[in-house]
Amino acid sequence: MSGLEPETVEWLSTLGIEPLDHHLWLEALTHGSHGSEMDYQRLEFLGDRVLGLAIAEWLYELTYAAEGKLSQRLNALVSRGTCAELARRIGLPEHIRMGKQARDDGGADSTNILGDVMEALLGASFRERGFEPTRELIRNIWTSEVKGDVGQSKHPKSALQEWAAGNQRKPPEYALVERSGPDHAARFTVRVRIHKVGEAQATATSKQEAETLAAKSFLEQFG
């Protein structure tokens, strides 16, 4: 098996990583469409847990907020959407190994794929370098999000649920309007409706994200 491309080695070095086991990092960067025997899913599983612990520890150090508020921020900071946005910011998309069709279909900018590969990279870092260097990597990448307002306000779906209850309305009803595109670059359109108030819809690369955006849109229109 060939090693990492020189451009990818150089990119990893900008993150403070000097890859030793190229096979490990290739696994972290390989999508199932590439045709290799390996892909990033196992390392994603590991990296998800490492990220959660590192962010939870960081929030614990930074604030004396109650458990509920800490959980709210944690969930926002480790969400697939946040991981994907940070992956774009550090230049990850061009280093993902995937099939031509998947890339042509926009897979390299898919929120689902980018979020997963970001976690896989953290899993690879943990396997090769241990927790402390990986925690430092996370703190470097997530600084603006943790120090900013990500997760400070209520999640739009929770806010909409509370708005409905506070206005003596039935709970919001979510419905999938359309699913389009191939599996690796799917698009979901979701509608949210509150009886005798109105409805709103939104489209995103995951059903959960589309529901969140639809709830946000509803609150902007009727809240």
Which tens digit of pLDDT belongs to each residue from 10-34? 999 999 999 999 999 999 999 989 8
Phi/psi at 20 (nearest 5 deg)?
-100, -50
CA separation, residue 190 to residues 24, 115, 134, 208, 217 (Å): 38, 21, 36, 9, 11
Inform me whether the pLDDT recorded for 2 exceeds 90.
no
Q: Average of pLDDT values for 183-199?
A: 90
Helices (H) and strands (E) in the chain, counts: 10, 3
Pick the catalytic residue: 27, 44, 116, 119?
A: 119
State how far the Cα of 61 lies from the Cα of 221, in Å rounded to an integer: 38
Mean pLDDT estimate for the chain: 91
pLDDT of residue 173: 93
pLDDT of 28: 97
- Residue 152 has a pLDDT of 63
How many Cα atoms occupy the beta-carbon half-sphere of 76 within 13 Å? Answer: 21
Delimit the domains of the chain by residue range.
6-147, 156-222
- The per-residue pLDDT for 97 is 94
| The pLDDT of residue 1 is above 60 | no
CB 187 within 8 A of CB 107: no
Give, in degrees to the nearest 5, the angle at Cα 36 between 44 and 8: 65
Tell me which residue has tokens 């979901």.
188
What is the secondary structure of 3-57 as a DSSP string? ---HHHHHHHHHTT---S-HHHHHHHTB-GGG--S--SHHHHHHHHHHHHHHHHH
List Cβ neighbours of 133 (8 Å cut-off, separation of 6 or more): 16, 125
How far apart, in whole angstroms, are the C-alpha atoms of residue 156 and residue 50?
26
Name the one residue in this structure whose structure tokens are 């997760």: 151
Tens of pLDDT, residues 131-141: 999 999 999 99
Q: Tell me whether residue 119 is one of the annotated catalytic residues.
A: yes
Tell me which residue of 5, 54, 40 sits closest to 110, measured CA to CA: 40
Give the gyration radius of the chain's Cα atoms. Answer: 19
Determine whether 48 is an active site residue: yes
Confidence of residue 37 (pLDDT cuts 50, 70, 90): confident
Q: What is the CATH number of domain 6-147?
A: 1.10.1520.10
Which fold is adopted by the domain 156-222?
Double Stranded RNA Binding Domain (3.30.160)
Mean predicted confidence (pLDDT) in 170-188: 89
Question: 193 or 152: whose pLDDT is higher?
Answer: 193
DSSP character at residue 97: B
Structure tokens at 92: 């990850």
Structure confidence at residue 35 (pLDDT): 85
Whether pLDDT at 184 is above 80: no
pLDDT value for 158 = 82
Of 32 and 124, more confident: 124
What pairs with residue 193 in β-bridges?
Answer: 173, 199
User: Exactly one of 27, 39, 44, 48 is catalytic; which is it?
Assistant: 48
